[in-house]
């Protein structure tokens, strides 16, 4: 079931959201029994705490949720959601308390309800929330549903989320929103001039493919390109076992663009949307491409392969070049591209590259509003020489190890000529440990921030 707010407020328990400073004032208006109960349970309004208030028959008649101090809240993305595990299953309606951002807290509650249950037989009981007054509940449900989809796609292991299944996810999306979809598969990639998508995926049991979804016939042109490497062994530059364990998530860029596309279509934005996903598995077999090979891209630029584990930029390059041919007003790529990005900003931030100041400012403001943090990184021009080898136009894996995320972004930008604006997101798409509103596992990073920036950037 998609995430929804509780519609029946009559059957919801009143929930009082209290800071440590507000607790005493609230208690003065309560019965002697409630004051004694709160004191006995040691509830003090701290973040991550909650308390059920029993009635005369013993069943709960209300609940308290700690909201902490302003300094403590600044360190937590979804504050109210931190209290959910301490609440009994059931439905709740906020009865008192001043939330810093009711929409963000309500979204965090919806996101906290996510469970990846495909391979589990036991279901967990949920805590539902009546939408707080004044929030756009329908929009928040759209955002949460898209995030759930992204998490499901990333969490699904490669045995059930290879190129064929990723294509089906895009087809399901197209069917739901009456979009058109074309898929170029296998040897047809060579015939239609997508040579690098083909070469990266040709060694796998499922044929490589380029998924091309279109929706909308009016408005600015928006093209999303998502890296769909459904599993990455590293190719002949084989990853060690410890680095391969999470490689089911190497299609996180595709999952995030699918989630973003779902938001855009569900909300009916006035754009001409295009979603391009090169879907491959980077496997090892006789046809694997090799270190030292020189590939020819869709643009005719040649690329020396110095590491077969830097395959994501290769498949993205052909897709970006194809998307740029239609001169979109805005083109975005999203990819779990480099470990260097994680070293730079950790797992919680989505680093992005863009030279268009209007987009940068709109995205930065939106990220704060949407609790979807991003961080700007530079297209540092002096590093261009690092991606220019001796025997080809470009190098897919410059030696030395410095500035790996920047050089990858510079590489991709070489294939975007024709797009009016371009931004690249080098995301992680994974939550290493459970946090309020963010379960351990697959994660959307950047789509809500991007969605909030589109009206200003595209004049919607």
| Residues annotated as catalytic (active site), given as ranges | 239, 313
Q: How far apart are CA 361 and CA 457, in angstroms?
A: 9
Q: With contact defined as beta carbons under 8 Å apart, do 247 and 177 qualify? A: no
Distances (CA, A) of 22 to 44, 101, 280: 10, 17, 55
Closest CA to 320 of 338, 333, 303: 333
Pull the structure tokens for residue 383. Answer: 């590093």
- Beta-carbon count within 10 A of 349 CB: 18
Pull the structure tokens for residue 43. Answer: 């509830």
Q: With contact defined as beta carbons under 8 Å apart, do 45 and 23 qualify? A: yes
Residue 279 backbone dihedrals phi, psi, to 5 degrees: -110, 115
The per-type count for the chain, helices as H runs and strands as E runs, is 15, 19
Q: How far apart are CA 327 and CA 221, in angstroms?
A: 8
Q: How far apart are CA 38 and CA 66, in angstroms?
A: 12
């Amino acid at each position: 079931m998609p995430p929804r707010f509780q519609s029946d407020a009559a059957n919801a328990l009143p929930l009082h959201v209290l800071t440590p400073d507000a607790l005493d004032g609230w208690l003065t208006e309560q019965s002697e029994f409630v004051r004694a109960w709160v004191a006995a349970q040691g509830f003090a309004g701290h973040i991550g705490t909650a308390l059920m208030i029993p009635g005369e028959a013993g069943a709960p008649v209300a609940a308290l949720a700690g909201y902490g101090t302003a300094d403590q809240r600044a360190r937590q993305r979804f504050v109210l959601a931190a209290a959910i595990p301490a609440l009994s299953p059931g439905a709740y309606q906020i009865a008192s308390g001043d939330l810093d951002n009711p929409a963000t807290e309500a979204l965090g509650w919806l996101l906290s309800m996510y469970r990846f249950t495909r391979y589990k037989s036991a279901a967990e009981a949920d805590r539902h929330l009546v939408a707080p007054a004044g929030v756009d509940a329908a929009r928040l449900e759209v955002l949460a549903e898209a995030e759930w989809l992204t998490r499901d796609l990333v969490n699904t292991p490669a045995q059930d989320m290879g190129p064929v299944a990723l294509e089906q996810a895009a087809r399901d999306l197209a069917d739901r929103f009456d979009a058109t979809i074309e898929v170029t598969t296998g040897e047809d990639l060579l015939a239609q001039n997508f040579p690098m998508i083909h070469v990266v995926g040709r060694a796998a049991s499922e044929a490589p493919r380029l998924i091309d979804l279109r929706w909308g016939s009016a408005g600015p042109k928006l093209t999303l390109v998502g890296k769909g490497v459904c599993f990455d062994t590293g190719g002949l530059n084989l990853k060690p076992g410890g680095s391969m364990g999470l490689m089911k998530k190497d299609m996180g860029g595709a999952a995030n663009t699918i989630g973003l596309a779902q938001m855009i279509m569900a909300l009916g934005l006035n754009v001409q949307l295009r979603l391009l996903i090169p879907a491959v598995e980077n496997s090892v077999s006789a046809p694997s491409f090799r270190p030292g090979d020189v590939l020819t891209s869709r643009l005719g630029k040649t690329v020396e392969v110095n590491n077969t584990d830097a395959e994501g930029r290769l498949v993205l390059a052909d897709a970006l070049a194809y998307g740029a041919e239609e001169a979109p007003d805005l083109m975005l790529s999203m990819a779990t591209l480099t470990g260097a990005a994680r070293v730079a900003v950790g797992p919680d931030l989505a680093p992005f590259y863009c030279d268009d100041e209007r987009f940068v400012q709109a995205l930065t403001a939106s990220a704060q509003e949407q609790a979807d943090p991003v961080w700007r990184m530079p297209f540092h021009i002096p590093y261009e020489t690092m991606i220019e080898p001796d025997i080809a136009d470009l190098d897919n894996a410059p030696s030395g190890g410095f500035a790996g995320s920047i050089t990858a972004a510079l590489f991709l930008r070489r294939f975007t000529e024709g797009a009016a604006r371009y931004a690249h997101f080098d995301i992680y798409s994974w939550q290493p440990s459970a946090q309020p509103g963010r379960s351990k596992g697959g994660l959307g990073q950047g789509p809500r921030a991007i969605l909030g920036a589109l009206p200003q950037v595209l004049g919607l």
